[in-house]
C-alpha cells in the first residue's frame, strides 16, 4: 500500500498587488519645509531671549510703564438758588436775615417745564432793603417809565416764551452755562427781547451757598477773574448788559468790581445793581469807569403770591411816578407770570414799559 503523507495547513497565496498601487510616502518637499519652519521658530525664540537679556543688562531697574486711565468728568450741575438779603441795619434785624438753605437742582433733574409739586427755587431775597435810591437819570417829562427784568432764565423754555408774549419790552437776564440758556436766548432774541447776562457772584455764605457755574469770587487772581467774566459773556449771545446773580459779598469789593467793569466797558455793556448788599461798590465803580449803570428798585416776587406781586408792581409804578423811572426784578415763577398777565394791561397810559438799557446812564 502506498502511504499517504499528511498534508499541513494550506497556505493562502499572497494577494497580488494591483498594478499601479504603491505605499504612500511623505514628499521630500513637505519634510524639508517643516524643518525650515521649526528652524525659524527656534531662531525667533533665541532672538527674543537675547533681547530680553540685553534689556536687563543695559536698562537695569527701569520702572514698568503704567497705563493711565482717565476718569470720566461728571457733568456740570447747575443750581438755581435762593439767597436772603445781607448787611442788615441793626442787630435785631440781623437775627432775622440769615440766608436760607439752598435748594439745589442738578441739570439732569431739571425738566423743560418744572413739575407742579416741585417748582424750581430761583434767587429771591427776604427782608431786602427797599429804601429809595436816587436815580441817575433826571425826571423825564411825560409818562413815567418802568423796566422789568426777569432773572434766572435758562431752565424753562416754555416759561420764557410765555413771559415774552406778555410784553416785548420785558428784559431777560440769562444765567451762563445753564441747561437751556443758549436755546432760550436765541428764541427770545428772534422775538425782539433785550438780553442781559445774569452774572454769578460770590455771596456772603459762600461756599455753603453756591452761585453756580461761572461764579466770580473775591479770592480769584485778577487774570482768572477777567477770564471768567469773558467766558460768561461769550456763553450768552446778544448780551447788551449785565446784572449780578447773588453777589452780596463780591459787590462790596471795589477792586474786583473795577476789574469786572473794565471788561464791561470794553464790551460796551451796562450794569444794573440788583442791590443784594447795602455796602455795594457797584455805583462807585461805574462812576470811576464811566459805565452806564442803574439800580434795582423793587423785587417783585419775594413771595410767590399773585396778590403780593401785584402790590409790588404797584409800588414800582408809584416810584416811577415819583422819580420818573424805576427798575423791577422778577423771576420765572408761574405766580409772577399770572400776576403780570393780569396787571400789565392795567398800566396802559399810566406808565411806559421800556427795556432796561433805556434806564441806564453814567453816574454823576
| pTM of the full structure | 0.68
Q: Is residue 208 part of a domain?
A: yes
CATH at residue 325? 3.20.20.370
Q: What is the rounded end-to-end Cα distance, in angstroms, of the chain?
A: 168
Average pLDDT of the chain to the nearest whole number: 80
Per-residue pLDDT band at 44 (split at 50, 70, 90): confident
On whether the CB atoms of residues 229 and 263 are closer than 8 A, the answer is yes
345 belongs to a structural domain: yes
Over residues 151-174, mean pLDDT: 97
Question: What DSSP designation does 236 have?
Answer: S
Closest CA to 170 of 331, 310, 350, 322: 331
Please say if the pLDDT value at position 30 is more than 90: no
- Residue 242 β-bridge partners: 197, 271
The domain of 304 spans 139-359
Q: Is residue 55 part of a domain?
A: no
Is beta strand 171-174 parallel, antiparallel or unpaired with respect to 270-273? unpaired
State the pLDDT at residue 356: 98
The strand pair at 171-174 and 145-153 is best described as: parallel
The answer, yes or no, to whether residue 355 has pLDDT greater than 70, is: yes
- pLDDT for 71 beyond 90: no
Q: Which residue has the cell 468728568?
A: 73
Confirm whether 308 is domain-assigned.
yes
93, part of any domain: no
Q: Which residue has the higher pLDDT, 44 or 227?
A: 227
Residue 81 has pLDDT above 60, yes or no: no
Average pLDDT over residues 76-83: 46
Judge whether 220 lies within some domain: yes
pLDDT at 64: 45
pLDDT-derived band at 155, boundaries 50, 70, 90: very high
pLDDT of 154 over the 60 cut? yes
**Residue 240 and residue 267: Cα distance in Å, rounded?**
9
Residue 303: inside a domain? yes
Closest residue by Cα to residue 123 from 185, 203, 182, 177: 203
| Residue 66 counted as domain residue | no
Domains in the chain: how many in total? 1
Amino acid at each position: 500500500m502506498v502511504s499517504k503523507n499528511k498534508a499541513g495547513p494550506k497556505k493562502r497565496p499572497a494577494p497580488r498587488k494591483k498594478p499601479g498601487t504603491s505605499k504612500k510616502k511623505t514628499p521630500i518637499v513637505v519634510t524639508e519645509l517643516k524643518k525650515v519652519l521649526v528652524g525659524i521658530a527656534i531662531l525667533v525664540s533665541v532672538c527674543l531671549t537675547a533681547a530680553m537679556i540685553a534689556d536687563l543688562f543695559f536698562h537695569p531697574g527701569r520702572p514698568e510703564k503704567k497705563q493711565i486711565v482717565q476718569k470720566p468728568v461728571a457733568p456740570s450741575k447747575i443750581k438755581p438758588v435762593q439767597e436772603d438779603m445781607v448787611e442788615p441795619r441793626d442787630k435785631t434785624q440781623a437775627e432775622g436775615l440769615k440766608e436760607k438753605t439752598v435748594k439745589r437742582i442738578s441739570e439732569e433733574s431739571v425738566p423743560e417745564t418744572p413739575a407742579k409739586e416741585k417748582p424750581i427755587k430761583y434767587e429771591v431775597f427776604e427782608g431786602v432793603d427797599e429804601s429809595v435810591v436816587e436815580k441817575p437819570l433826571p425826571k423825564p417829562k411825560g409818562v413815567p417809565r418802568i423796566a422789568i427784568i426777569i432773572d434766572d432764565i435758562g431752565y424753562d423754555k416754555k416759561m420764557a416764551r410765555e413771559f415774552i408774549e406778555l410784553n416785548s419790552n420785558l428784559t431777560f437776564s440769562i444765567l451762563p452755562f445753564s441747561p437751556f440758556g443758549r436755546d432760550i436766548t436765541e428764541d427770545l432774541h428772534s422775538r425782539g427781547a433785550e438780553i442781559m447776562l445774569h452774572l454769578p457772584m460770590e455771596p456772603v455764605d459762600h461756599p455753603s451757598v453756591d452761585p453756580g457755574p461761572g461764579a466770580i469770587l473775591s479770592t480769584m487772581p485778577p487774570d482768572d477773574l477777567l477770564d471768567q467774566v469773558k467766558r460768561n459773556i461769550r456763553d450768552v449771545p446778544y448780551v447788551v448788559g449785565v446784572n449780578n446773580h447773588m453777589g452780596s459779598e463780591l459787590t462790596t469789593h471795589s477792586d474786583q468790581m473795577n476789574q469786572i467793569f473794565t471788561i464791561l466797558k470794553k464790551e460796551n455793556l451796562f450794569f444794573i445793581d440788583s442791590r443784594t448788599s447795602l455796602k455795594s461798590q457797584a455805583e462807585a465803580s461805574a462812576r470811576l469807569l464811566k459805565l452806564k449803570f442803574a439800580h434795582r428798585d423793587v423785587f417783585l416776587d419775594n413771595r410767590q403770591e399773585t396778590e403780593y406781586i401785584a402790590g409790588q408792581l404797584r409800588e414800582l409804578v408809584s416810584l416811577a411816578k415819583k422819580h420818573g423811572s424805576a427798575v423791577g426784578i422778577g423771576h420765572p415763577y408761574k405766580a409772577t407770570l399770572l400776576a403780570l398777565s393780569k396787571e400789565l394791561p392795567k398800566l396802559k397810559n399810566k406808565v411806559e414799559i421800556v427795556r432796561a438799557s433805556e434806564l441806564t446812564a453814567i453816574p454823576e
